[in-house]
Structure 1
Amino acid sequence: MSLSTGEILFIKSVKDGIPNRDPLNDSDARRIFGEEDGRISLSDVSIKRDVRDYILAKYPDGGPEKRYFVWCRGERTPDGKLLGRDKLAEAILERAGRQKVANKSEALLELAFDMRVFGAVFSVEKQSFHKTGPVQFGWAHSLHPVETKYVQGTVIMPSQDVTTNEEGTETGKGQGSIWTTYTLPFAVFAVPGVINASIAKETKMDEKDLELLLEGLWKGTIYRQARGRGIQQPLLLVHVEYNDPFFRIGYLEDYISLEPERDAWLGSTPPTSLADVVLDVEELAKVIGSESPYATKIKQVRWWKNPELALKGELPGKEENIW
């Protein structure tokens, strides 16, 4: 069964960290809007990394069908050298027992989940490979202004060994180092995505890939951890499928809002937990519901919800069980 063109809207939160830092701004949060706007952003690369890392952890050997290898990943040789794109592709072919196939590009599409879903550009053994992915995510933006905080602390472990010479004098650095970082107490982000049915046919992305992608968005947010990224939680995932492969409503994130509004986030006591906010989905429900002017274009609506998230309004379609 072929895929339908569709849209994804994924809402997630973070506490006590910054999920996607900007190396050009002292590793503070990424800001692609003006300072007065105040919102911070996550790149699509960060979102895809969450999905890839989860699938790589779930199917390190490609899964029972050898269809869920992850090509875009970090892997090193025994002597510590980082593998390049062509070597990573060759490793997948070898682990699947397909290294002697004539058409390596086609074989890789069958074997690598992220190639089928997100696309790839490279060449292996003089075979050029260029596929646009049927799934594309836009930049994710916070649903409110954010003020990050600059903090510092100390590491008790000395950075160098401390030794005592024959005269009884200590040498080496006998104290820990000072660390500094930016952080934020709490933020909620909206992640938009699109699925192109025509391109999916070219890359051989199927229904199983779609279901694994949705699972990877939700569970990958929980799985991928790093101290500076904070504690992240998936809150709401909406998947809208269309009857027309050449149609989409577009910009579903513009039909949601978060309460309280802007002034509260810039005040002296901004929200600091999920219990302090409500997600307003009333406008979204109107645009994807049975009374929508686009109703005849919509094939089905599915959604997954964190039970701790408070909603204002009722979403149409089918609520699915969380993985």
Structure 2
Amino acid sequence: MVELEVILKLRKRMEAEIMNSGEILFVKSVKDGIPNRDPLNDSDARRLFPEEDGRISLSDVSIKRDVRDFVIALEQDGGKDQKNHIFVQEKVNDKGKLLGRGSLAEGIAKSVGKEKKAKEDMKSVLIEHCFDVRTFGIVYSVKPKFNLTGPVQFGWAHSLHPVDTQYVQGTVVMPSMDSTAEGEGKTQGTIWTSYTVPFAVFAMPAVINAKAAEHSGMTAEDQELLLRALWQGTQHRQARGRGQQQPLILIHIEYSDPFYRIGYLEDLITMSPDTTAWKAAGKLPSSLQDVSFDLTRLLAAVAEKQDKIAQCRIWTHPGVTISGDIAPWLQPLW
């Protein structure tokens, strides 16, 4: 009886760790801010397309930061099994100096009681105890050096419509320095300037490679945490300059055929009114009430390739208007 229980537990664990290759499409909106600024363009929005195209873009770094910060908040000290530490994060030492890769890794190894093992095999320690290492990979430039390709690779997120950024100014009432009896110091506040986006909707694709997951140690449990972190992490990590962000649509397709991929899921959805209509009207979208999404072509592709798909799941914000029957794939929000 005991042996049977052990076998069942092992089988359950193996099933939980099985990873299928897949694709993700994440659609989110932002109001009154810029989630990912371009330091080479006066901190304006990033533009990978020509100015006349009008679209703006977000890098994968922005999305990964949202995911990492959410996991840090959710799984404090790595979680109950200490397997969900975050390696890439900003930490300082007692003197307020930023820690480098080596110190960050050593700190994690110390917290899980594997300092000795880490001296011989830091790679295995980080794989076992760091969610972002298993999911996004790692470049470890401290001797002995190693790198690991992450099974999850995000593409650039592009706005689904042209966007005009606005240059705004404001004042800070609080002076930066105390005034003295002799009148020295700052006696008034300062003026700030910034670019902002009134409203924009972005679509970001990602692929999940099961073969790479075998090497990185990423499990199906990690995958579920990633999906949750995409949604709730977007809501969790808010800052004035980044605007008010809201996840709108999250699509996850798992493939039973490890060598098949629909590809370019972002090209299979459309937002209405489309770019031509917005330009012709001379009015850009300003809220969710101004737009709707058509998933008909994407759902048709899923239906056509059922023999290659293990499952399709879709999460949506209740305020989003969608064309296409998503009921068979609709999931409850976290």
Under TM normalisation by the shorter chain, which class is it? over 0.9
Q: Deviations over 1:28-61 (max 9, x none)?
A: 0000000111100000111111100100111120
Distance between the aligned counterparts of 2:190 and 2:199, measured in 1?
27
> Displacement, 1:89?
0.7
> Displacement, 1:152?
0.5
Is 1:191 the counterpart of 2:204 in the alignment? yes
1:122 alignment partner AA = Y
> Displacement, 1:313?
1.5
> Displacement, 1:10?
0.6
Q: Contact 1:8–1:239 at 8 Å: present in 2 too?
A: yes
Q: Contact 2:163–2:284 at 8 Å: present in 1 too?
A: no
Match of 2:99? 83
Pick which of 200-209 and 309-318 moved more. Answer: 309-318
Structure 1, unaligned runs of 5 or more: none
Match of 2:31? 15
> Displacement, 1:92?
0.6
Match of 2:261? 248
Match of 1:140? 157
Is 1:313 the counterpart of 2:324 in the alignment? yes
Identity %: 56
Distance between the aligned counterparts of 1:207 and 1:19, measured in 2?
29
2:323 alignment partner AA = K
> Displacement, 1:316?
6.5
Structure 2, unaligned runs of 5 or more: 1-14
> Displacement, 1:321?
1.0
Aligned structure 1 segments of 4 or more residues deviating by more than 4 angstroms: none
Show the 5 A alignment for 1:168-187. 170-187=183-200
> Displacement, 1:317?
4.2
Show the 5 A alignment for 1:1-323. 1=15, 2-101=18-117, 102-124=120-142, 126-165=143-182, 170-266=183-279, 267-289=281-303, 292=304, 294-315=305-326, 317-323=328-334
Distance between the aligned counterparts of 2:264 and 2:275, measured in 1?
21
Distance between the aligned counterparts of 1:84 and 1:263, measured in 2?
48
Distance between the aligned counterparts of 1:186 and 1:225, measured in 2?
15
SS in 2 for 1:61: helix
Q: Deviations over 1:254-277 (max 9, x none)?
A: 001111122454444322111111
Q: Deviations over 1:252-300 (max 9, x none)?
A: 00001111122454444322111111011111111112xx1x2211111
> Displacement, 1:242?
0.5
Q: Contact 1:120–1:131 at 8 Å: present in 2 too?
A: yes
More helix by share: 2
2:196 alignment partner AA = T
2:41 alignment partner AA = N
2:264 alignment partner AA = Y
More strand by share: 1
Distance between the aligned counterparts of 1:214 and 1:56, measured in 2?
15
Q: Contact 1:105–1:127 at 8 Å: present in 2 too?
A: no
Distance between the aligned counterparts of 2:96 and 2:313, measured in 1?
44
Q: What is the root-mean-square deviation of aligned Cα atoms in Å? A: 1.3
SS in 1 for 2:238: coil
Q: Contact 1:50–1:220 at 8 Å: present in 2 too?
A: yes
1:91 alignment partner AA = G
Distance between the aligned counterparts of 2:203 and 2:194, measured in 1?
24
Query: Structure 2 vs 1, CA of residues 151 and 123 (structure 1 numbering), >3 Å: closer, same or farther?
Result: closer
Distance between the aligned counterparts of 1:305 and 1:39, measured in 2?
23
**TM-score, length of structure 1 as denominator length:** 0.94
Q: Deviations over 1:81-104 (max 9, x none)?
A: 100011111111111111111422
Aligned residues: 315
